[in-house]
Structure 1
Amino acid sequence: MKKAIILALSLMLTVGMLAACGTEEKASKASEGKKVLVMGTSADYAPFEYVDSKKSDDIIGFDVDLAKAITSKLGYKLEVKDMDFNGLIQALKSGQADFVLAGMTPTEKRKKNVDFSDIYYTAGFMIVSNKDSGITKLEDLKGKTVGVQLGSIQEGQAKEIAKTVDIKIENRNRVPDLIQEIKAGRFDAAIIEDTVAKGYFAKEKDLKGFIYNNDESEDTGSAIAFPKNSDLTEKFNKELKKMKESGELDKLIVKWFGGEE
């Protein structure tokens, strides 16, 4: 009798375990069925994308929130990969990333290699230097060393400035490197996007800057980059348009940029 009871209990436990496994397997398959999109970015560009190491190792920022919103609306899961900015285009071409969100400007040169979404944010350029540098206008850069991020639109702007003002251009992979070079005295100034520069001013009290916009340049604004002929371009544009019309994009802009002075 005892053997019969034990056998019955064993069968009940086995059935229960199989049912639980089946439920977990279904949940796992459902999760796997939701395609993952890989976003390539350069997480050194606060408030667009950066890591707040005091809180976590996660990449956060305006671009990350924008990517989460769009991919969620389209039914995708999101994976964010940190790379050097100058390697992002190649990451798209080689299939390492499905799209790039990194405050990237859709220049004509870049358009030859990748496709872009509509513009989602527009900012200006800022000449950043130490407060005691005496640099207050472009002409003050004559004979100076100016830093730029490698592969960035600011690198192109520096070359334009060099046509009329005698400057030495140096590049670095990441924006924090530019700031450190200024503080160390190896760079006299750097060209950085104004929104990003203002974020550094809040932490680096010895720095200052002034807005510089090249009116002759057609390269303005930030857009999302995709591999050539990607079907994601149209899908993302539709969601971007909805977010602009509903005010959702404006809310993200206020969240990440609105608190700056």
Structure 2
Amino acid sequence: MSKKILSLFVVGIFILSLGLVGCGKQEAKPAKVLKVGSEAAFAPFEFQDESTKEYVGFDIDLIKAIGKQMGAEVQIQNMGFDGLIPGLEANSIDLAISGMTITEERAKKVSFSKPYYKSGLTMVVKSDNTSIKSFKDLEGKKIAVQLGTTGADEAKKVKDAQIREFNSAPEAFLELKAGGVDAVVNDKPVNEYYIAKTGGNDAKMVGEPLTAEDYGIAASGKNKELIAQVDKAIEELKKNGEYEKIYVKWFGKKP
């Protein structure tokens, strides 16, 4: 073999090796990202830590654990509760986790995971209120609710009640504290958390839960595959004890 041919052969091998390296770079897949919508004013499920400004809560820890199980990075997007389903429909977010009750009406628009938390609606009134003891007593009263929630739906069924809708649960509680409404109708764990944080000085929870509700993680109605992956991840988290660990962290008891 002549020196010229040998040189061309070496150069050819060198160029081929560069091409293979380039192909390797093109084939490397970027980290999978899940854009998750949540209305971060629904403690203890999702809220913003006052000191760190990080989004925290039961739902936040759970979706991050689910993402880790799926090998995906979770990016939380804080948005209004009533904007979550439109966000899924527009594909601006992949999933929504925000204490969202699974209902037939919502299930017509989105795909839900299997239930991951059981809740129910209760009432909160001011500590010195003695006239409201059951949902029947709400007739003709002023009721604060969060926009787009099942609490709002149920409150609207109360005879002669005046309904005031707010963008977040904290706004509804502030209206109660200010005396602008007689009661707040919201999810039991959220009501319990609010009363615990205020030391029970301003408000109290009364009556039996009106409903039994299941929370689900939502995806676009067309994205059945993603929900199947979420369901699988939740089952794995329950088997390995991570779900129980997160539950105990936020609710102080085992599920």
- Per the TM superposition, whether the score is higher than 0.5 is yes
User: What whole-Å deviation, never above 9, does each CA across 1:232-261 have from its counterpart, x for those lacking one?
Assistant: 1000111112222333212211111117xx
Q: Which amino acid aligns with 1:154?
A: G
- 2: distance between equivalents of 1:224 and 1:82? 15
Aligned counterpart, 1:223: 216
- 1: distance between equivalents of 2:108 and 2:75? 26
Aligned counterpart, 1:177: 171
> What's the CA shift for 1:142?
2.5
CA contact (8 A) 2:113 2:217 kept: yes
- 2: distance between equivalents of 1:139 and 1:206? 23
Query: CA 1:153–1:227 in structure 2 vs 1: closer, same or farther (change >3 Å)?
Result: same
> What's the CA shift for 1:211?
4.5
SS at match of 2:236: helix
Q: Percent identity?
A: 37
SS at match of 1:202: helix
SS at match of 2:235: helix
Alignment partner of 1:257 is 2:254: no
* Contiguous gaps of at least 5 residues in structure 1: 1-25
- 1: distance between equivalents of 2:61 and 2:42? 14
Which of 108, 115, 133 is equivalent to 2:111?
Answer: 115
CA contact (8 A) 1:194 1:211 kept: no
Aligned counterpart, 1:192: 186
1:81-92 correspondence to structure 2 within 5 Å: 81-92=77-88
Alignment partner of 1:210 is 2:202: no
SS at match of 2:40: coil
SS at match of 2:75: strand
> What's the CA shift for 1:170?
1.4
Q: TM-score, normalised by structure 2?
A: 0.83
CA contact (8 A) 1:37 1:78 kept: yes
Q: Which amino acid aligns with 2:252?
A: G
CA contact (8 A) 1:124 1:212 kept: no
SS at match of 1:96: coil
What count of residue pairs does the alignment treat as equivalent?
225
Q: TM-score, normalised by structure 1?
A: 0.81
> What's the CA shift for 1:214?
3.5
